[in-house]
Structure 1
């Protein structure tokens, strides 16, 4: 009887979510949140703006995963940008959102004190109970951004995933299985492991060349990575609709190590990797 009740409850939840899902959800709120975040940093400085826009459980790599509030909260009050302090500016070139409108991401170039873009950031956003947005992960890699679209350019938007809803726990179980399979193959063939799950429109970042945005560029980007990589999943979360998930974890290879962050999207009943950023940890001198 208990199993029957639980099964009926799961079916009811899935049906409720399916009825609630719109045909498509605009990523405009996530893009707006990122732009407001950057604008705020230009006024109050980096650490205060990051503290203002993060959730209490947000993480950063410093160099290993830590609670972001502890990292930024420990920093002394910055010199304000208007008084000659550091001016960090960034803007989205690529963004996506779940059909349930509760999980999204943006990525794009960043500049320091007006110099040419030399970093590509990646931010994962979670919608809050009051309808606002706060980030749960923020990080980036150093890369050449001279050819990146400028702040006035509209970001490319990830097309929506499967319209059929899935419970978040079930979605994460499937994503974890996909991560485990990727990690197993990557121990001997990292490029092959990625190619087995990458979407045709996926973005891959990590090297100094900047983000790879099409299959030939992705092939070149993967060629810059170690042939064998040991991945160790650490965490992440899925949207309420079960169509979008982000993950992060450890990465180790011969004479190097780092971390990864990814975005997975459910397409035609299967999970495809639509974003991957590999962040190398520089060894101490």
Structure 2
């Protein structure tokens, strides 16, 4: 079962404003995520979600849907708990993501991993994208890592046309990745993933590191096809994400479709590499 994470409409209550405060640091984003989890434990899902998302938030339940639409009919459950173990924030301080384990203690206890993308508006963190990936009860210990941005840079006069041009670079990168996958198979991932990449895939605990990721892909996949439906990029120009549908042909002569969220990081050579890849369950 997916982590029930994103929300309806941003609340203007004092508690929500304090909990979501952004000062451009990874620490502030981790606090927003943990405060979100604590608020859900105290007040329930629907109430917590009313504080931490806005009208643009998409949740994958399992397919992407507006958080306001999804949670309008959900109860105020307190069954979900989670905690971030890895987080990154852009050098512009306005964009970041967290990931970590969740537990659903509903009718039957289930486990998994989540990834949430956050954006800052009026110095408050709000959810932008959220997805969860189920797996069995975890066996491996996971260390936490919350690196702060190496520097701080936010363009003062960035306009919509410039933002669109930046997004075109991200979508072009993913178009190139998709074409390379078609030509060379899953070996193509080797040129597009970071040494510290994190893979979230149903049934598996997080697969961390380029060598482990490539071994996983090569052992299971024969073909991967991406269909990008959306993208977003930090104003700092160092982090971005895409989302859409991915069709996976297994070596066992089976095809399966997933919703995906990919997070990219800009490298010193100006190329964009994947640092997080989420393959979330999909319904067709």
Map residues 241-280 of structure 1 onto 2, 5 A cutoff: 241-254=236-249, 255-268=255-268, 269-280=270-281
**1:229 match: secondary structure:** strand
- 1:136 and 2:135 are equivalent in the alignment: no
Among 99, 102, 105, which residue is 1:110 paired with?
A: 102
* Cα distance in 1 between the residues matched to 2:67 and 2:181: 29
Q: Which has the higher contact order (CA 8 A, sep 6+)?
A: 2
Judge conservation of contact 1:109–1:117 (CA < 8 Å) in 2. Answer: no
* Cα distance in 2 between the residues matched to 1:97 and 1:202: 16
Counterpart in the other structure of 1:64: 63
Quote the offset at 1:281 in angstroms: 2.3
Judge conservation of contact 2:91–2:154 (CA < 8 Å) in 1. Answer: no
* Cα distance in 2 between the residues matched to 1:78 and 1:190: 45
**2:51 match: secondary structure:** helix
Judge conservation of contact 1:103–1:239 (CA < 8 Å) in 2. Answer: yes
**1:118 match: secondary structure:** strand
Quote the offset at 1:158 in angstroms: 7.2
Cα root mean square deviation, aligned? 2.6
* Cα distance in 1 between the residues matched to 2:185 and 2:89: 28
Judged with a 3 Å threshold, the aligned counterparts in structure 2 of structure 1 residues 158 and 204 are, in CA distance, closer, same or farther, namely farther
Among 183, 196, 204, which residue is 1:201 paired with?
A: 196
Among 91, 97, 122, which residue is 1:99 paired with?
A: 91
Counterpart in the other structure of 1:155: 145
Instruction: List per-residue Cα deviations over 1:14-41 (Å, max 9, x = no partner).
Output: xxxxxxxxxxx63111111110111111
Judge conservation of contact 1:168–1:239 (CA < 8 Å) in 2. Answer: no
Map residues 1-285 of structure 1 onto 2, 5 A cutoff: 26-75=25-74, 77-78=75-76, 81=78, 86=79, 88-113=80-105, 118-129=111-122, 131-144=123-136, 145-149=138-142, 154-157=144-147, 160=150, 167-187=162-182, 189-223=184-218, 225-254=220-249, 255-268=255-268, 269-281=270-282
Judge conservation of contact 2:87–2:99 (CA < 8 Å) in 1. Answer: yes
- TM-score by length of structure 2 reads 0.78
* Structure 1: gaps of 5 or more residues: 1-24
Judge conservation of contact 2:171–2:231 (CA < 8 Å) in 1. Answer: no
Instruction: List per-residue Cα deviations over 1:161-216 (Å, max 9, x = no partner).
Output: 99797953332111111100111122354422321110111111214221111223
